[in-house]
Structure 1
């Protein structure tokens, strides 16, 4: 029996199907505030059993990109309530992805007087877009002190509490794509010599301390985390493959002990099969797989228990009725790449629904 469109239940997750809408930055949060436009966008896509929102900053210093939302103010909480209400009306669950961009940012994208931070003061190579100055080199980050790390942890906890107040079913920690949490894992970015740097146990410490603190505040059943082992996004230069493997082995085992709801794996071609297997066997709760799936390969991952849930990004981006199209096996809209991150409705909520000829 096919699983994709059947109800899902494992641990604390109870969903109307096995289909997840992956998190995708869309840059429509003018003034970093969630709005009616975003509520419409997510409501359109609530055919998914679970929606994971775009990356949302837990603090002003994490706003690395233009027009990404936050969850640290009362106005932001009220804005997100419009989104969660709209999604829940269609019987879907929704988790807020907490994304602190760390050193991937520019001061022009941050509030006055706020600077990007990182595990160290190592500047990321490449450029980033700003609304006011166009493309710019990444700003040099301020290395977090121990007091700064304590503040980051507190910010994540506060953001998680705000997410619950806003009606979210949980939060997903963004531990991939070269943002702050992954920056701490990578010895090419993290050259600290204190308890948050050095061996893989110490470099993993921040992720686990944040997760523990959030679990104490809102419950482990309301926490997921996204990983992408071996990814080189955002200037994450590669390091010893066995050490990478052992890092995610350690994290999976420790997160299993904490009892969080899920691990969301953003797959890439460099992840060896043994790393998938050790995460699958070390972590007993839900595993979500994302990237490059088709209807057929997604179903196969569910059938062979490689994954408990499957996530799609681009399909949902261009097809508000993606779940229905997938179930009926009909054609999909193509993505308008020119409007991915532009403000306004175009390329956001104006993709057409499928109508049979």
Structure 2
């Protein structure tokens, strides 16, 4: 039987397995203009937590008792669409289903001869694109500047740091274990690392790691680490707000230091974004990322979890920092 994963209930705080429901469904048949897709890899991402809330955002919330969606690599196993043939692999925003049909709109073919299929959900997918546009379009790094990255061992953060190094910057990463700090320095080429679980005063730790101050802070976590980074920003610094995973499961509106004074005194720029704001540039960005990858200027880590049934747990594990690099489920 075919299977799907539904949103059973909206999480209160950190998601649990009880918020998800597995359902057996019929295998669909392909109609004119459609393709029949077999799921191969599923992306689990922190932003999906926001779609589990019943509130207005840049993307529609998930509906209860309906399939959850995310980026998926699938194989075309039957086609009645002239743009796709059996055996093609595609990348698209699809339902958490083992097998499904699609009209082909928005699906992009991927070439497994150029990179592993899972890479198209990570460094050659929205992950890499997010790192690229956030750092280069908003951060606008200049050679010799200091770039600070939180969530640095994660999918986006690890790519941000590497691109910053390509641009001639000093790069400092923040992560939650010595193992991850070693990964940042030994694999991704970061200059320094800060283990937030071994740091009593984050503001002081950032100052020691960035003695010349911070020119660009790429923020993936929000909260107290953002406050500490702002305190260390140089004049005309740029804060790139990519995510705030430390706040996603809060049930009440958190409060913290007021940033307005620092923004004015230091003439800081602070901007949030989503990768799709720059969708018109995707066809230029992905080849650039691929070129850097082929020239060994970029590398990547993946945490690959096996089995369709483990998708919800893999998603939950993101909030405990159990991933190194991109978290992907192999079906």
TM-score by length of 2: 0.33
Whichever structure has more strand as a proportion of its residues is 2
TM-score by length of 1: 0.31
Say which one has the larger Rg.
Answer: 2
